[in-house]
Amino acid sequence: MLTRFLECPHGQESEWLLEQLIHEHAAPIVERIVAYKVRGGPGEDVRGDVLADLIARLRELKDSDAGEIIRDFRAYAAVAAYNGCNEYYRRCFPQRYRLENRLRYLLSSHPRLALWVSPDGECLCGEKSSRGNEQSQGEAAQLVETILHEHGAPMPFDELVDRVAHHWGVSDWAQPGGSDRAHETASVETKLMQRDGLRLLWREISRLPLAQRISLLLNLREEGGGAALTLLPLTGVATVGEIAATLEMPEAELAEMWHGLPVDDLRIAARLSLNRQQVISLRRSARERLKRKVA
């Protein structure tokens, strides 16, 4: 399916293949890994970030003449999920993130300790049975050896990090993932693609007057010029049915328009019985209202 997507010309079939790759093959893997690594509400944001990033990477790969080669898409999605979780912890829990990296290095380089991935994808650590004569070096190695020896069996790596962090008093207060206030002048389209404000913006968009909703959403573009509206179902923010309801049009009508998005201003003007400049003014008013809500 990945090969078909990459070789397929841009159009309806290409978008359908992309949706299948994300929904059927990537999303279950990403959801399982993120649920294990990031518990609670932030996990949903991490999951959405990872899927949005995968969509962007696949589109870039499709348009690239000499890009990276993906030989195992499920493994590729798994790596993306782990990287997304690591980025979340690096940003929000910097002390724990540094501790994890320190322990990973220790376990991979120590003669009697090991770090590996189990068949079900869990990261485990424990003692190497084939080595036992070298002397331990350093306080960290002694502490890890003691914990693993007392445990008596392979231990999930996250549990080891928890125990070492507790022993050394390492902790973090979760820090904000990023400051949207520094980018308040950015376009509404750019903010819509940033996961932290995605659901808030969608809720506020649904409260706009109908003409503003239509002028904004049907013309909504990614920074590269593609249709930003098509990302909402893929990232779980809104279904096609919910988008159609927000636009107050039949879902079948939106489905026919889907692969022709974004819609140009002249077509939107004809739909609203307005002129092009009035459509532009409606969209500008919508952006200004949304910026005030975001601020």
Residue type, 5: F
Task: Give CA–CA dist 13/27, Å, rounded.
Answer: 20
Q: Give the closest residue to 2 by CA, choosing from 37, 54, 53.
A: 54
Least confident range from 97-111, 130-144, 145-159, 247-261: namely 130-144
Cis peptide before 176 (omega within 30 of 0): no
* pLDDT value at 254 more than 80: yes
- What is the pTM for the complete model shown? 0.45
Query: Residue 120's pLDDT is what?
Result: 59
The residues, ordered by sequence, that sit 6+ positions from 149 with a Cβ below 8 Å of its Cβ are 127
Task: Give CA–CA dist 213/246, Å, rounded.
Answer: 8
Q: Where are the domains of the chain?
A: 2-90, 95-168, 180-294
The residues, ordered by sequence, that sit 6+ positions from 268 with a Cβ below 8 Å of its Cβ are 214, 215, 218, 219, 279
Instruction: Give residue 43's pLDDT band: very low, low, confident or very high (50, 70, 90).
Output: confident
Mean pLDDT of 212-239: 78
| Torsion sign, CA atoms 56, 232, 189, 5 | positive
Q: Give the closest residue to 227 by CA, choosing from 209, 246, 254, 253.
A: 254
* pLDDT value at 180 more than 50: no
**β-strand partners of 117:** 123
Instruction: Give residue 215's pLDDT band: very low, low, confident or very high (50, 70, 90).
Output: very high
Categorise residue 212: left if φ over 0, alpha if ψ from -120 to 50, beta otherwise: alpha
Least confident range from 16-25, 190-199, 224-233: namely 190-199
Query: Residue 172's pLDDT is what?
Result: 65
Task: Give CA–CA dist 8/97, Å, rounded.
Answer: 41
Cα 31 to chain centroid distance, Å, stands at 10
Q: Give the closest residue to 113 by CA, choosing from 121, 104, 122.
A: 104
Q: Is 164 helix (H, G, I), strand (E, B) or coil?
A: helix
> Which alpha helices (H) appear in 171-237, and where do they start and end?
188-192, 198-205, 210-217, 231-234
